């Protein structure tokens, strides 16, 4: 879907992208990285807005350098910034975005209503966009990005400023788009739990370099067979019982522990619990959290993010 070959971009001596090589598969991709890692430069390069210093970017089979317009007909982009066109009603600004993408005026207006229905913006669509709350603005921006039925959608911090209910609705829309509507989505975000909950793959950038690209499933797969357990009260008794059976135990908190060992962990835990009268509340096979992966990858290249830019 997105193919990058040695993609590099320099601003003077500043290296925004340092020769990326990656072939991104369709689906939902989380684009991660510290500020200044080159995420927005990469998105602009893929849209053909930024001229590459080196390398080629091929998007949906089109070359970013020469077919920028064709790419932008097939790609949607939801910017992070406010980006409202003051003076227009919600539905008008979505229809305008449609016309800019080449939809005839009537089709654009018709589809603008469809998109606003889809993103669940109700009667507020007839109000001027400046009067909107953060959540409504995000919905309008998503509708604007979707109106020309793109095959690939870039979302820049789509849940920024949303409250938990708004965030869940936004994530549900993203999941629906990727899983049911066949739209590939690249989400640039700082909130790792959003990526875990709705992406198939993660792509981590640091200092313009590709640090990680893999499916979430593969990333989270733990190397050893271990699991985390939580009990109702004191975990020490259960730990002792499991220890006696030859499992390695590591207490995490007053009621939590990590248990490591071969064979059928579940049965062993229940048997030990039965023996010592503990109530098992949770058994969670170990998974690498995306946060650990991210922190390890980014810290390795940066030491610490000393050169952030706004």
Q: Give the nearest distance from C-beta 23 to other proteins in angstroms.
A: 23
CA atoms of 287 and 268, how far apart (whole Å):
20
Q: Of the candidates 22, 100, 240, 244, which one interacts with other proteins according to CB under 8 A?
A: 100
Q: Does 288 bind other proteins (CB under 8 A)?
A: no
Binders in 104-133 for other proteins, by CB under 8 A: 104-105, 107-108, 111, 114-115, 117-118, 133
Q: Does 2 bind other proteins (CB under 8 A)?
A: no
Short-list 177, 196, 195, 213, CA closest to 3: 213
CA atoms of 307 and 63, how far apart (whole Å):
32
Binders in 167-226 for other proteins, by CB under 8 A: 167-168, 176-177, 180-182, 190-193
Phi, psi of 35 (to 5 degrees): -60, 140
Closer Cβ to other proteins, 23 or 104, answer by number: 104
Which stretch, 19-27, 100-108, 211-219, 239-247, contacts other proteins (CB under 8 A)? Answer: 100-108
Binders in 156-175 for other proteins, by CB under 8 A: 160-168
Q: At what angle do helices 236-244 and 265-276 cross, to 10 degrees?
A: 120
Q: Give the nearest distance from C-beta 6 to other proteins in angstroms.
A: 21
CA atoms of 187 and 31, how far apart (whole Å):
6
* Strand ranges for 40-132 from DSSP E: 54-59, 62-63, 75-78
Closer Cβ to other proteins, 168 or 250, answer by number: 168
Q: Of the candidates 22, 218, 232, 251, which one interacts with other proteins according to CB under 8 A?
A: 232
Contacts of 143 (CB under 8 A, 6+ apart): 94, 97, 112, 115, 116, 118, 119, 121
Q: Of the candidates 60, 65, 88, 109, which one interacts with other proteins according to CB under 8 A?
A: 88
Q: Give the nearest distance from C-beta 240 to other proteins in angstroms.
A: 16
User: Residue 75 to residues 47, 184, 200, 204, 219: CA-CA distances in angstroms?
Assistant: 8, 10, 19, 21, 27
CA atoms of 120 and 193, how far apart (whole Å):
23
Q: Give the nearest distance from C-beta 237 to other proteins in angstroms.
A: 13
Q: Of the candidates 36, 38, 158, 208, which one interacts with other proteins according to CB under 8 A?
A: 36
């Amino acid at each position: 879907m997105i193919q990058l070959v040695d993609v590099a971009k320099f601003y003077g001596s500043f290296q925004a992208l340092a020769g990326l090589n990656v072939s991104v598969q369709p689906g939902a991709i989380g684009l991660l990285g510290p500020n200044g890692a080159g995420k927005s430069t990469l998105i602009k390069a893929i849209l053909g807005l930024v001229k590459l210093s080196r390398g080629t970017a091929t998007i949906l089979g089109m070359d970013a350098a020469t077919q920028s317009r064709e790419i932008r007909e097939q790609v949607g982009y939801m910017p992070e910034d406010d980006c409202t066109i003051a003076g227009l009603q919600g539905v008008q600004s979505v229809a305008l975005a449609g016309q800019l993408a080449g939809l005839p005026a009537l089709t654009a207006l018709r589809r603008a209503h469809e998109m606003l229905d889809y993103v669940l913006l109700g009667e507020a669509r007839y109000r001027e966009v400046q009067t909107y709350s953060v959540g409504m603005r995000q919905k309008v921006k998503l509708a604007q990005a979707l109106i020309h039925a793109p095959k690939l959608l870039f979302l820049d911090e789509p849940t920024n400023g949303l409250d938990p209910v708004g965030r869940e609705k936004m994530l549900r829309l993203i999941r629906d788009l990727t899983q049911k509507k066949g739209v590939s989505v690249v989400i640039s975000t700082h909130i790792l739990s959003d990526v875990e909950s709705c992406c198939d793959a993660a792509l981590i950038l640091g200092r313009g370099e590709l640090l990680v690209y893999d499916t979430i499933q593969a990333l989270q797969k733990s190397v050893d067979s271990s699991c985390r357990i939580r009990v109702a009260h004191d975990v020490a008794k259960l730990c002792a019982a499991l220890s006696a059976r030859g499992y390695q135990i590591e207490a995490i908190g007053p009621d939590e522990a990590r248990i490591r060992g071969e064979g059928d962990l579940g049965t062993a835990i229940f048997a030990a619990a039965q023996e010592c009268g503990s109530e098992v509340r949770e058994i969670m096979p170990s998974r690498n959290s995306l946060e650990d992966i991210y922190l390890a990858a980014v810290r390795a290249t940066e030491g610490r993010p000393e050169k952030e830019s706004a």
